[in-house]
């Protein structure tokens, strides 16, 4: 049978299409290490959602350097060894940047991989001060508000109240212990005597023994450095049950909106440090974007992830290439206004530093009834 030349050409084209698929558009691969099942999940989940919204917004505007962002999300279960394994997996899969939003020890362990592979890594949310000091890793940055900044902001506010004696309460999580250390050190430097230091264990069924000790010590103020929400609520319940009247100053954990439902009726007058000023124009724009994309209202934790994603995209854009060394240089030169922080705050990394949250960028707010109320203090020296 004679086969026409046209038929042969058509078959050849079809074969070529089948064997050689169209060259897929390259993406910019950003790795995200989160905690989907472990103790960091209450924080990591909304932060990851913020990253996803940030990436979606950037892709809707054409991506970065003409390429879409591809998020590769891995779950480290809050475990340091798994976090390092996931970091290695992401690097091997082509990630040019890693965002870590799990527990502080897990982020720390993942740094061993970012250092060894010279892959830029950033945590937009972890507040452990030791993340940039324990390992000399020029490929790691931290834009979460440091525990030391939190305590300095709270102390700046406390300084306006002339407190002399403080009780300090924390929990037995790694971050809670780290924050308690910084809070204690900060209180002592401010000449505020720590007359009682109590710890509420994860899984405790009562905080009355600890609050009785606080009551017996008769402090001017109670400072909460805990980061476990359920245990903080337990402490708050005991505080109210035992009729304690001294003011309660709390870490930024109290800024998580869940307190308004799980500690209803118990919050009025509690002051807490936060990195989210709802009156800020960038916050209003973010809330509108998030609602449009997801149909839900965001809260402060979403903002960390959203800022982290946009900051990374900004760095890649300024780097001009998807090259790890160029991205590293660009990150270090960041000058970025995000959602988080007080009005006017920008993320910047001073020379030789890899922490980018402005020391004057936190605010102190007060619960009014069960609602997160107004800002009463900004940074480390500006009372409202």
Interface with another protein (CB under 8 A)? 37, 39, 41-42, 45, 172, 197-199, 201-206, 208-210, 212-213, 216, 229-230, 233-234, 237, 240-242, 256, 258, 261-262, 264-266
User: At its nearest, how many Å lie between another protein and the CB of residue 208?
Assistant: 4
Instruction: Identify which of residues 202 and 382 has a Cβ nearer to another protein in the complex.
Output: 202
CA angle at 250 for the pair 236 and 41, rounded to the nearest 5° = 80
Residue 206 — left, alpha, or beta (φ > 0 → left; ψ -120 to 50 → alpha)? beta
Nearer to another protein, 67 or 240 (CB): 240
Q: Alpha carbon 247 to chain centroid distance?
A: 27
Residues 338, 347: contact at Cβ < 8 Å?
yes
In this structure, the chain runs to a length of: 384
Whether 311 and 338 have beta carbons less than 8 Å apart is answered as yes
Task: For residue 170, count CB atoms less than 10 angstroms from its CB and return exposed for 0-12, middle for 13-18, buried for 19 or more.
Answer: buried
CB 76 to another protein: min, Å: 15
Q: Which is nearer to another protein, 193 or 201 (CB)?
A: 201
Distance CA 30, CA 284 (A): 27
Residue 331: which of 349, 306, 346, 358 has the closest Cα? 349
Gyration radius (Cα) of the chain, Å: 24
Residue 81 sits at the vertex; the CA angle it makes with 78 and 84, to the nearest 5 degrees, is 95
C-alpha 78/C-alpha 36 separation (Å) is 8
List helix spans (H) across 40-119.
Answer: 41-60, 80-92, 104-117
- Least gap, CB of 209 to another protein (angstroms): 4
Of residues 209 and 381, the one with the C-beta less far from another protein: 209
Cβ distance to another protein smaller for residue 83 or 229: 229
- Min dist CB 178 to another protein, Å, is 14
Closest CB 180 distance from another protein, rounded Å: 10
36 or 326, CB closer to another protein?
A: 36
> At closest approach, how far in Å is the CB of 270 from another protein?
16
Cβ of residue 38: shortest distance to another protein, in angstroms? 9
C-beta closer to another protein: residue 193 or 206: 206
């Amino acid at each position: 049978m004679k086969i026409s030349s046209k038929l042969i050409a058509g078959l050849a084209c079809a074969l070529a299409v089948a064997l050689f698929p169209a060259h897929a558009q390259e993406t910019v691969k950003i790795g995200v290490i989160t905690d989907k099942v472990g103790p960091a999940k209450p924080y990591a989940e909304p932060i990851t959602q913020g990253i996803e919204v940030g990436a979606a917004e950037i892709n809707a505007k054409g991506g970065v350097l003409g390429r879409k962002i591809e998020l590769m999300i891995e779950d480290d279960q809050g475990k340091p060894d798994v976090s390092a394994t996931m970091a290695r997996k992401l690097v091997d899969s082509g990630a040019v940047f890693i965002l870590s939003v799990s527990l502080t020890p897990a982020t720390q362990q993942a740094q061993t991989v970012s250092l060894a592979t010279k892959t830029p890594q950033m945590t937009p949310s972890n507040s452990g001060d030791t993340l940039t000091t324990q390992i000399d890793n020029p490929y790691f940055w931290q834009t979460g508000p440091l525990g030391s900044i939190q305590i300095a902001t709270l102390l700046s506010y406390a300084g306006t109240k002339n407190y002399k004696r403080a009780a300090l309460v924390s929990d037995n999580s790694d971050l809670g212990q780290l924050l308690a250390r910084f809070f204690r050190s900060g209180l002592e430097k401010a000449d505020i005597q720590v007359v009682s230091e109590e710890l509420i264990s994860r899984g405790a069924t009562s905080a009355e023994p600890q609050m009785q000790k606080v009551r017996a010590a008769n402090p001017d103020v109670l400072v909460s450095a805990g980061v476990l929400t359920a245990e903080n609520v337990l402490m708050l319940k005991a505080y109210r049950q035992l009729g304690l009247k001294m003011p309660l100053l709390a870490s930024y954990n109290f800024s998580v909106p869940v307190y308004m439902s799980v500690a209803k009726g118990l919050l009025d007058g509690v002051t807490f440090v936060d990195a989210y000023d709802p009156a800020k124009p960038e916050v209003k724009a973010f809330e509108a974007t998030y609602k449009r994309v997801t149909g839900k209202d965001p809260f402060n934790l979403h903002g960390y992830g959203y800022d982290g994603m946009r900051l990374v995209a900004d760095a890649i854009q300024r780097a001009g290439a998807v090259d790890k060394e160029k991205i590293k240089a660009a990150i270090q030169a960041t000058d970025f206004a995000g959602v988080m922080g007080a009005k006017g705050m920008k993320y910047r990394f001073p020379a030789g530093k890899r922490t980018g949250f402005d020391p004057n960028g936190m605010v102190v707010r007060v619960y009014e009834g069960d609602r997160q109320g107004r800002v009463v203090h900004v940074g480390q020296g500006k009372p409202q």
